[in-house]
A = this chain, B = another copy of it.
Amino acid sequence: MSDAAPIAGLRLGIDVGGTKCLGVVLSPGGEVATELRRPTPRGGGSLPVLIETLTEMVTTLEEECGVIGTVGVGVPGLVTYEGVLRAAPNLDGVADFDVAGLLGARIRQPVRVDNDATCGALAEWKLGAAAGTRDMMLVTLGTGIGGGVVAGGRLQRGAHGFAGEYGHMVVDPDGPPCPCGRRGCWERYASGSGLARLAREYAIGRRVSRVIELAGGDAESVRGEHVQQAAREGDADSMKVIDAFGRWVALGLVNLTNVLDPQCFVLGGGLAAGADLYLEPIKRWFEELLYQPHLRTIPDVVFARWNERAGAVGASLLHEID
């Protein structure tokens, strides 16, 4: 963080999720000194309550930790450069909701706001698995796929704040329908729900008997966790599902490499909990599918350091970037 202004006081970051808000205070050394959770207010008229919740979190953390130097907030949606939340599918009633302005007025200090996945990339870049790189991409493999981009030593938001929506790259135009209205989006294959779909396809073909057993005998009930559990027991059939899944993850990483050629990919999101199972097949397929592997330095593929704290840690760093 050589380009950072010196911070007077502690750095506070809050990640607003669909169900909970997580606040962290960073120690000067970049560790999480303390954290605080509150339910995210929901329903009609909940947005003013959300500002109250965030205000209370700042006050409580300040009482606990001492002087707060900077405050940043990560939110699940499209954020303008001025910190206005344009739209957020997982919060109720959001349309041009000025989080930075409203919270800043309450706590009487400037607040920076950015997209939660962008914050996550910042956390992994500055203090996590991609520390020291100039070009990295965070890819979160959860229910869907999202992420954030650092290129040329700067966090990239795109011209309109939509950078990092990798999940909707089309990898097969005749593939399964996606709720976004198209077909064959990457997140139909390479997310948590993609793994479940793949596992059910194998299960319906009766090729993964232990997985079906774990799902209570019903192929239609198979989920990703059943595949993971069977694989940890040493079941060879379920390793085939994980291998096929790893190929789909790698295919998208290869596509991203052909656009930006990062030094490393950081994989985060819910599937990071199974990193030990997924990393080997993902890396193997990545090298197999990469364009001109003999001519290049192959980007590294690693799992995230911060996982569920990534958004809050990154939010705490928002004042330290351009």
Contact = CB atoms under 8 A, between A and B. Distances in A.
Nearest to A133: B159
Contacts of A295: 78, 86-87
A185 to B, nearest CB: 8
A259 B259 contact: yes
Given A165-B291, A171-B170, A182-B289, A160 B261 contact: yes
A156 interface: yes
A307 interface: no
A123 to B, nearest CB: 19
Q: How many copies does the complex hold?
A: 2
A99 B53 CA distance: 60
Nearest to A155: B152
Interface string A158-187: 111111111111111110000010100000
A172 B169 contact: no
A255 interface: yes
24 contacts: A78-B295, A86-B295, A133-B159, A149-B151, A149-B259, A151-B151, A151-B152, A151-B158, A152-B156, A152-B157, A156-B260, A158-B260, A159-B262, A160-B296, A161-B261, A162-B261, A165-B258, A165-B259, A168-B254, A168-B258, A170-B255, A171-B171, A182-B289, A259-B259
